[in-house]
């Protein structure tokens, strides 16, 4: 099975595996309500961030549905983690991957999420032989909607009131996706 070669280097950023020393950086954004408000889960404790980092460091075969990789987003010009990208194998047989992201709000508005998501989505197609990469997002998350569109993804579904948020309110979801043939016809990078 193909493997994903890390780190991925972009013009301004580095995508690398999380390290045990990244717990405080991850907790700095994963504890914020403005980060977790669209994720349908509570903010992560420092302990949960440490568990997530430990899990993300395990070896992946990319052969089993549900395998997931979380990578740290780092600026190349200074130390520290400013966010993360997630890549999860939805279906090994159909070569479908889900991509997701979380960025510290203090680093928003600079195009970092687009730059790193473009690199990871491109690597999923080029290195992992993905057939389809998709993102699921809260319909109210306008920043992620715009990011998906900048990545060349199309909206495939609008699920109405399909999940409850932490306050018991119904939320709707969009599904955006991109096929390998579309990616290679108009590359992201």
For 66-91, what is the mean pLDDT? 96
pLDDT digits (tens, 9 = 90+) for 97-118: 999 999 999 999 999 999 999 9
**Residue 132: which pLDDT band, with cuts at 50, 70 and 90?**
very high
Main-chain dihedrals φ then ψ at residue 144, nearest 5 degrees:
-75, -35
pLDDT at residue number 39: 84
Write down all domains in the chain, each with its CATH number in brackets. Answer: 8-185 (3.40.630.30)
pLDDT digits (tens, 9 = 90+) for 138-176: 999 999 999 999 999 999 999 999 988 888 889 999 999
Tell me the two tokens of residue 120. Answer: 């990871």
Note the pTM of the prediction, 2 decimals. Answer: 0.94
pLDDT at residue number 164: 87
């Amino acid at each position: 099975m193909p493997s994903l070669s890390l780190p991925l280097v972009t013009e301004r950023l580095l995508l690398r595996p999380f390290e045990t020393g990244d717990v405080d950086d991850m907790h700095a954004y994963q504890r914020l309500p403005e980060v977790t408000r669209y994720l349908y889960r509570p903010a992560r404790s420092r302990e949960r961030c440490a568990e997530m980092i430990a899990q993300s460091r395990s070896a992946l075969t990319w052969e089993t549905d549900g395998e997931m990789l979380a990578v740290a987003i780092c600026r190349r010009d200074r130390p520290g983690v400013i966010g993360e990208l997630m890549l999860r194998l939805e279906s090994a047989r159909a070569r479908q991957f889900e991509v997701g992201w979380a960025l510290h709000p203090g680093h928003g508005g600079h195009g970092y999420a687009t730059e790193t998501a473009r690199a990871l989505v491109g690597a999923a197609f080029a290195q992992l032989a993905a057939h389809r990469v998709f993102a699921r997002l809260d319909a109210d998350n306008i920043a992620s909607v715009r990011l998906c569109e900048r990545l060349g993804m199309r909206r495939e579904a609008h699920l109405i009131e399909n999940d409850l948020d932490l306050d018991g309110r119904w939320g709707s979801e969009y599904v955006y996706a991109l096929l390998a043939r579309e990616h290679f016809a108009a590359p992201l990078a």
